[in-house]
Structure 1
Amino acid sequence: MLLSFQKMHANGDDFVIVDSRNSTNPVTSAMAQRMGDRNRGVGFNQLAVLLDCDDADARVMFWNADGSALDVCGSATRGAADMLMREANTTSLVLRTNRGLLTCERTRNGDISVEMGVPLFGWSDIPLVQELDTAALPLAGNPAACSMGNPHCTYFVDDLASFDVATIGPAIETNALFPLKTNVHFVQIIDRTHIRLRIWERGAGIALGSGSCSCGAVVNGIRRGLLNSTVEVECDGGSVTVRWDGVGAVFLIGSVEASFSGTMSQG
């Protein structure tokens, strides 16, 4: 059988959407890994599967390219919201994820805003293997950690160009401190409203951008007193805006674009 999909990206952070509403979910870990292969499959950073839902416009399940599951993906959530808003001719909807109910809206300029939920800072919420101060972990460089439904570890650096993301990223991702591994961010602060971000994404590697990583990086910067409540996050592939008042939910705002649609064998 053939599996239909839509390929999209958010400033180069690419993802695939499979619409399984009104049908049985066909995606397994093995299928996600096959589709995620950039040489033999479709290729993506994340895969989002749309499912029927009683208390939201749709339920969304997420997979990494290595076949591992994750609770939320900011870019793919924006893509799913964009697709469903166009389908229903509406400018707002609610999606259910393992992170909870996420409210999505289309802004005046066509971007998609997602309420990404309240960040978590408890060591067991991230999670870490032991109780520690998550604002300054006992690792070289004293990174900060938080959860946006998935784990994030943020380094604040003076010169982003001097850090070898491809070497440091996987070493921190798989550090024993993080039992479920972690996303790793390297942040250079341009000013209090603007950061430059490079990303090593858990289960995907270097990414041109990431919605949840952008949120995690800004949240940790605000915790440290380094950033204002609204921040432009400049990633390798483009920019998004993150807003957090220091108490409630984090808002992620940015563009998404359709790349192509197709089918792939499930066998």
Structure 2
Amino acid sequence: MAIEFTKYHGLGNDFILIDNRSSSVPTLTPEQAIKLCDRHFGIGADGVIFALPGENGADYTMRIFNSDGSEPEMCGNGIRCLAGFLADLEGESRNQDRYRVHTLAGVMTPQLMPDGQVKVDMGLPRLLALEIPTTLTPAEEKVINQPLEVAEQIWNVTCVSMGNPHCITFVKDVAAIPLEIIGPLFEHHPVFPQRTNTEFIQVVSRDYLKMRVWERGAGITLACGTGACAALVAGVLTNKCDRTATVELPGGALQIEWSEIDQRIYMTGSAERVFTGNI
């Protein structure tokens, strides 16, 4: 089987994009995706994204397999890359600058901006323990500044779902965190029945945050869009940042806004095509 693909990255969070519009079922299995994501024996990526036909009135559907074969509900950097990929596929026939994309976390709306950036309406953050999910607090309560023991240390964590689970903790220096050791312990902690993404945040100022992330199913990545959104929400809930801020990740910066008007999260950042090929 020969497969054409395009490699994209959003701030270094990289993906293999596949045109899957002829079928509502991904053309690859999770096991095949694992092989393609291998950086030594495959193409190399944090995940494989499939552009499928739209569902529930959406223009397209996005499915994604992580580099470990698991399937997340959503991916913020990935959906920006998908928007760029869809524009490539439509070519001169493209008559819109925004798409309604069906995901396992609901319908997201990325918009191609004149400066080449992609702005995404990420929807409403979900804050109740049941929605995340986590057992850190009773199901109908929010998880804000709750103590969690990891690696014989107490961390104050705030949990947010952006359609996928996030555990955010604020630290003095993100560079000092042994992410490769601490990250897996957070991801697989028993209080997170569906595992979790974990963001370590350093507050530089009320409108500037530094972030490192351990992604559920992918490990250390250079950026995480949903994580940046969750981090800003956690910062507002703990009164550490404003409702609009720059979030600096190892791969670059995202602009995140939690609108006071409609309470939705808006993320703006880059999506870069790297190369096309077939395998």
Q: Does TM-score exceed 0.5, indicating one fold? A: yes
Q: Which residue of 2 aligns with 1:204?
A: 218
Q: Aligned ranges for residues 69-218 of structure 1 at < 5 Å? A: 69-86=71-88, 87=90, 88-129=94-135, 131-132=137-138, 133-139=142-148, 140-218=154-232
* Contact 1:47–1:76 (Cα < 8 Å) also in 2: no
Cα distance in structure 2, aligned partners of 1:161 and 1:258: 29
- Helix, strand or coil: the match of 2:156? coil
**Does residue 245 of the first structure (1) align with residue 259 of the second (2)?**
yes
Q: CA deviation at 1:12?
A: 0.8
- Runs of 4+ aligned structure 1 residues displaced above 4 Å come to none
Gaps of 5+ in 1: none
Report deviation, 1:39. Answer: 1.5
- Tell me if structure 1 keeps the 8 A contact 2:16–2:49: yes
**Alpha-carbon distance in structure 2 between the residues aligned to 1:202 and 1:101:** 21
Instruction: Say whether the 8 Å CA contact 1:44–1:65 is kept in structure 2.
Output: yes
Q: Larger deviation: 26-35 or 195-204?
A: 26-35
Q: Taking structure 2 as the reference length, what is the TM-score of the superposition?
A: 0.90
CA distance in 2 between partners of 1:130 and 1:236 (Å): 29
How many correspondences in the alignment?
Answer: 264
- TM-score, with structure 1 as normaliser: 0.94
Q: Which amino acid aligns with 1:180?
A: Q
Question: What is the CA RMSD across the aligned residues, in angstroms?
Answer: 1.5
Residue identity opposite 1:154 in structure 2: I
Match of residue 233 from structure 2: 219
What is aligned with 1:4? 4
The range that moved more, 250-259 or 25-34, is: 25-34
For 1:262, the aligned partner's letter is G
For 1:35, give the aligned amino acid.
Answer: L
Q: Give the Cα–Cα distance (whole angstroms) in 1 for the partners of residues 42 and 194 of structure 2.
A: 26
**Which residue of the partner structure matches residue 274 of structure 2?**
259
User: Over residues 18-58 of structure 1, what are the superposed CA-to-partner deviations in whole Å (9 max), with x where a residue is unaligned?
Assistant: 11102353122212212121121122112211111151221
Secondary structure, counterpart of 1:85 in structure 2: helix
Q: Secondary structure at the match of 1:116?
A: strand
State whether residues 46 and 73 of structure 1, in contact with CA within 8 Å, keep that contact through their aligned partners in structure 2. Answer: no
CA contact (8 A) 2:60 2:99 kept: no
| Residue 89 (structure 1) shift | 4.7
Q: For structure 2, which runs of at least 5 residues remain unmatched after alignment? A: 149-153
Between the aligned partners of 2:170 and 2:120, the Cα distance in structure 1 is 25
Deviation (angstroms), 1:136: 2.1
Higher mean C-alpha displacement, 247-256 vs 192-201: 247-256
My pick for the range that moved more, 236-245 or 85-94, is: 85-94
Contact 1:8 1:15 in 2 (8 A): yes
Tell me the residue number matched to 2:42.
41
